[in-house]
Structure 1
Amino acid sequence: MTNYTNKKSVFRNFDRLDFYLITLCILFTLLIFLLFTNSSMPPFEDAAMLMRYSQNFVYGHGIVWNIGEHPVDGATDFLFMICVAITAKTGLSIENSVLLIDMSSHILTGIIIYIFIRKFLFAGRWMAFTSLLFFILGTGLIYTAVFFGTPFFALFSAITWFCANEAVIDPKYSNSLIFSVSGLILGLIRPEGVFLAIFMLIAILFKIGFKKSKKIVLSFLIIFGIIGSIYFIWRWGYFGYPLPNPYYKKGGFTLHLRGLTQSIGTFVIFSYPFIPAFILGGRSKENLQQTIFSLIPVIGFIL
């Protein structure tokens, strides 16, 4: 399937036409968003709650629900909340700050997907373009319209997976460090990002083995061990409890079968065009290895 050793020929056919296709898709997406999005639609409840935390943070009250009260870890999209607050400092409203971050994230994710398919899968423009179109006209626009932070999380999920593939090609310290830092950022955006980054690391170990991935594992452990621990200790002291609020609200390690069912259903609905490719990935040993490598983060995150 993917010949990782043929690095020099990766972008041999990447030219202006690719740029034009990406630009066309972006402009079309912006047009669709402007024409069919109801600007008067209020934010969904969870999104509105996070925006309230961002607004209080902007005005220097800390991460609180009510001004003057003790900090509450209600905005579990930690880094997204901070970015919204920083953007609002420029003079934009909280709502427009969210829209700017979400739309930018959604478009950038689409570009990364296009480049990923051309670079790592050696695919033609038609495959990259249709995949880009399928993604960029998908649910990300809905999440943006209702002010969720999901597109921001999706962006760094794509960045981290892109970096993971770079590290597989060449597991030198610089690539290992970039992958580890992007994984840490993913975990700072949402708590579940930590698990997604770990599943990506497991996929790397599966693909190239422990011996070749020693630098990657070491960088990952150092970044998460040092910076991650500093953040963990800070948030424990700031909020008064170590783990994210949903952990306590939803009963700790209790298995929620309804949530699992919804997660599997969502994966099937949004990934159905690509399911045949995963099935065909078992035709040979090399293809099967690449398919399993790609599925480890997906299946791990679903479960």
Structure 2
Amino acid sequence: MDITYRQTAPATLTLALCIAVMLPLFWLAYLYAVPTEDAVILFEYARNLAQTGVISYGHSGIPVEGATDFLWMLVIAGLKKAGVPEFLSALALNFAGALIILSQLKDSARRIIALIGLLFTPYLYAALQGFSPLLFCAVYVLCIVTSLRPYASFYALVLLLCLIRPDGVVWGAGLVLLRFVEGRGRHELGKELRNFLLYLCLPGLIYFAWRAWYFSELLPLPFLVKSAGDRNLILFYGYSGLYVLSAFAPIIPACLMSEDRVRLLRRLAWYFFLPCVFYSWMRLEQNAGNRFLAPMFFGTLFMLSRETKLRPMVVFTILSVLCGIKITVQTAETVAESRSEAYYYVSQDLARLNGKMLVTEAGRLAYHTNWITHDAWGLNTPQYAHKLIDYAQIDAGSYDLIDAHCKFSFLTNPIPLAANPPRSWDNLCHAMIDYVTDKQYKVFLVPLLTNGIACSNSRLCAFSSDASTRRPGCQRFDIFALSPSYAHFEEVSRLLKNRGAIDYSPTLKFEGDEICS
């Protein structure tokens, strides 16, 4: 009894310390932060499911394929039905995920190292924005734990991983393949195959078939959109490869310090080869805090925690902090400044009216208003996911308001697009602005930030298409184009002006999506 107490007491105290450190951060985020634009998109699906029983977007009332983080959305919808706000649910689930990860490490020293890594890498701050990285990584770590033992529950956990986020397939594939490769004997392989088919394949196929039937879409809309477009590095996107590299680079030197480096490197190669290729091939939009690569950090951290010596784990944590420090600072500042974003207030102002809008910023405008909302990029609107939106489709939509994050030079010189242009953000902007100018919409420029912070001093502007060219004294504005035939034209004009909007004029001094003083 005494021996058991002496063994468990330090570990329990360490978990208590972790709770004491993390809980204030999560609570402060709930009190003072606003969930980020892309996280709110899923909250929109969860709320609609809780209130109407339909998985839909933008007050359409019909099934819309876009809630790819299915189980995450389902749990938040269930909690919403019970009266728990979506953002609070997201934070609580991530907090539980962080504790699960820490609980899988074998002693206090390793948990403290992991806590330091958690605090100084971007994944925690992506969770504070309303995304699911810590819960997803907790399930991934549990998948690794069960993959090292002859448990049939391994396949059920991989299924759970895939249901939380569809890219769980990419993270789980290496674990499953390695499980078969390391199988011993025909009887053992037969048992593995049976468990694989029964606990993973069969329910996965049933879910896939149901999803295709329910949404009338074979593949998730975000996959269609993010895999399209011209790549600048043969088959890959260069900037996506940099995100992958920042997460992968610390693994090699840390593993070279391990006791059985060859075996560990081989195992991690099985784990991470497919994710590295997949994420380099995809356009990493909505990758706040490099959250898509978070399982690489926590999976490696867990594997290194099993080493006898602490040094590899310490080195990996330090290198991960250094490689991701810029992303971490940007993500943390985004959380801290989130209440300064004009979209949060403009969308709440619009909530007292009704209308129909086409948007490029598809989160808060859909969630906070009563307007029918279509996502021009296609992540949440099927008719715009398979090919780029065009003039005729915009005209058929009869939109009262068009929101676009585009370069202002396109307003000065609108360019009609040829038929079936390649999918790119610039071409999307050309299509929207060509329509706006031709139909003589009233164009307002709404500042991204409501408190006058210059974009050169704010990380909230870093998600702009021209983030690398931010200049002192300049501020990002977005286009809000209002139909002259809209019944509440004057009222919306006033509320936009009250939020700092200015009339567009070609005489303004602008660069990209910035207006400079």
TM-score category (smaller protein): 0.7 to 0.9
- Match of 1:58? 50
- Match of 2:221? 245
Mapped to 2, the partners of 1:125 and 1:275 lie a distance apart of 25
Within a 5 Å distance, the mapping from 1:115-194 to structure 2 comes to 118=106, 125-135=108-118, 138-166=121-149, 171=150, 175=151, 177-194=152-169
Deviation, structure 1 residue 48: 0.8
Is residue 198 from structure 1 mapped to residue 173 from structure 2 by the alignment?
yes
Is residue 263 from structure 1 mapped to residue 276 from structure 2 by the alignment?
no
- Match of 1:300? 274
Mapped to 2, the partners of 1:126 and 1:132 lie a distance apart of 10
Deviation, structure 1 residue 104: 1.8
Contact 2:175 2:271 in 1 (8 A): yes
Find the partner of 1:236 among 196, 212, 215: 212
Mapped to 1, the partners of 2:145 and 2:81 lie a distance apart of 31
Mapped to 1, the partners of 2:238 and 2:73 lie a distance apart of 28
Q: After superposing the two structures, state which structure 1 stretch, 23-32 or 130-139, moved more.
A: 130-139
Question: Which digits, 9 at most, give the CA deviation of each residue in 1:189-211, with x for residues without a partner?
Answer: 11110121111112223445575
Deviation, structure 1 residue 52: 0.5
The amino acid that maps onto 2:131 is F
Deviation, structure 1 residue 291: 3.0
Mapped to 1, the partners of 2:32 and 2:10 lie a distance apart of 37
Mapped to 2, the partners of 1:184 and 1:297 lie a distance apart of 16
Deviation, structure 1 residue 49: 0.5
C-alpha distance 139-229 of structure 1, shift in aligned 2 (>3 A): same
Mapped to 1, the partners of 2:42 and 2:88 lie a distance apart of 14
Question: Which digits, 9 at most, give the CA deviation of each residue in 1:166-194, with x for residues without a partner?
Answer: 2xxxx2xxx1x200000011111111101
Larger relative helix fraction: 1
- Gapped runs of 5+ residues in structure 1? 1-10, 119-123
Mapped to 2, the partners of 1:291 and 1:92 lie a distance apart of 43
Q: TM-score normalised to the size of structure 2?
A: 0.48
Within a 5 Å distance, the mapping from 1:195-234 to structure 2 comes to 195-208=170-183, 211=186, 212-234=188-210
Find the partner of 1:106 among 98, 116, 137: 98
Contact 1:201 1:217 in 2 (8 A): no
Mapped to 1, the partners of 2:68 and 2:154 lie a distance apart of 23
Deviation, structure 1 residue 229: 1.2
Q: RMSD value over aligned CA atoms?
A: 2.8
* Higher alpha-carbon Rg: 2
SS in 2 for 1:64: coil
Mapped to 2, the partners of 1:210 and 1:49 lie a distance apart of 48
Percent identity between matched residues is 23
Contact 1:207 1:289 in 2 (8 A): no
The amino acid that maps onto 2:197 is L
Contact 2:50 2:77 in 1 (8 A): yes
Contact 1:105 1:151 in 2 (8 A): yes
SS in 2 for 1:39: helix
- Gapped runs of 5+ residues in structure 2? 278-517
The amino acid that maps onto 1:92 is V
Mapped to 1, the partners of 2:243 and 2:189 lie a distance apart of 30
Deviation, structure 1 residue 259: 5.4
Mapped to 2, the partners of 1:214 and 1:205 lie a distance apart of 10
Q: After superposing the two structures, state which structure 1 stretch, 132-141 or 102-111, moved more.
A: 132-141
Contact 1:47 1:146 in 2 (8 A): yes
Q: After superposing the two structures, state which structure 1 stretch, 210-219 or 74-83, moved more.
A: 210-219
Q: TM-score normalised to the size of structure 1?
A: 0.78
Contact 1:29 1:137 in 2 (8 A): no
* Structure number with higher relative contact order (C-alpha < 8 Å, ≥ 6 residues apart): 1
The amino acid that maps onto 1:181 is A
Contact 2:26 2:95 in 1 (8 A): no
Find the partner of 2:8 among 15, 24, 29: 15
- Match of 1:121? none
- Match of 1:87? 79
Deviation, structure 1 residue 266: 3.6
Mapped to 2, the partners of 1:232 and 1:163 lie a distance apart of 25
